[in-house]
Amino acid sequence: MNVVRIAGALGAEIHGVDLAASLEPAVVAAIRAAWLEHGVVFFRDQTLDAKAFMRFAHALGTPIEYPFVRGLPDYPQIIEVKKLEHERTNFGGMWHTDTAYLECPPSATMLLARELPPFGGDTEFASGVAAYEALSEGLKATLVQLRAINSSAKADVSKSREDRVATDGRQDARRSYEAEHPVVRTHPETGRKALYVNGGHTVRFAGWTEEESAPLLAFLFRHQQRAEFTCRFAWLPGTLALWDNRCVLHNPVNDYHGFRRVMHRITLAGDPPR
């Protein structure tokens, strides 16, 4: 197994591992260590059917279902993240961490490329740890005292779900989900602190109005996206990405109108943010 770093703030490719095989505990531990160190790791040229994909997910954690979209018929924890030829809006098309509006957001997200457009469709990733560490000591001291309200009903993210909810929506989905989390999150495994707000879901600070919150949140959202905190990844069929949803944001780039892009996603159970 060979781990090759791809950017300064986060991201690495892992070579020499066949994820369809039954992995030895030492290999799983090495993958987990690389994932925790780099935030997001990528595996090229993987031949994984749904069963093998789910087996790898179980090696790293507990797969959970997504609240708004039905999973595959035999694998409800695997959802299709897709944009079809006639659609203009891509699923989750903004900087965010997955389902921050849940009381226990996922610890990890796994995304497997099935069908790709002839160009475009990259995904950007950003380190919440690097973003937090670059803040002034004064702002850090302010933010560690704050909590934020995260909602599934924020307009931009709701719009990005419309096509999939129309075709694959769950009948038991609630209209909206809301959760309050710390603005600065301490990672339960590494102990690192990360900025834990995102433009897709964070509405306001707890005890503040939306109007009062807007200027500081706007600064934090811009700050998170600074180029030196990010990496950008170009997919190929059979590529799998695994990222730490507790400290990594992502943004799927919507630059391939008229073409089809289909990915399979699994999220792994997490803990309440602390």
Separation between Cα atoms, residue 62 and residue 235, nearest integer Å? 25
Q: Tell me which of 70, 96, 204, 264 is the catalytic residue.
A: 96
Q: Please list, residue by residue across 154-180, b when 16 or more beta carbons sit within 10 angstroms of its beta carbon and e when fewer do.
A: beebeebbebbeeeeebeebeeebebe
Q: Tell me which of 38, 70, 98, 246 is the catalytic residue.
A: 98
Kindly state the tokens that stand for 182: 């710390």
Q: What share of the chain is helix, strand, coil (3-state, %, to 5)?
A: 25, 30, 45
Annotation marks residue 96 as catalytic: yes
Contact criterion met (CB below 8 Å) for 118 and 235? no
Annotation marks residue 114 as catalytic: no
Annotation marks residue 98 as catalytic: yes
Q: Tell me which of 187, 204, 261, 265 is the catalytic residue.
A: 265
Q: Tell me which of 38, 70, 201, 250 is the catalytic residue.
A: 250
Annotation marks residue 86 as catalytic: no
Helices 50-60 and 25-38, interaxial angle, to 10°?
A: 80
Residues designated catalytic: 96, 98, 250, 265
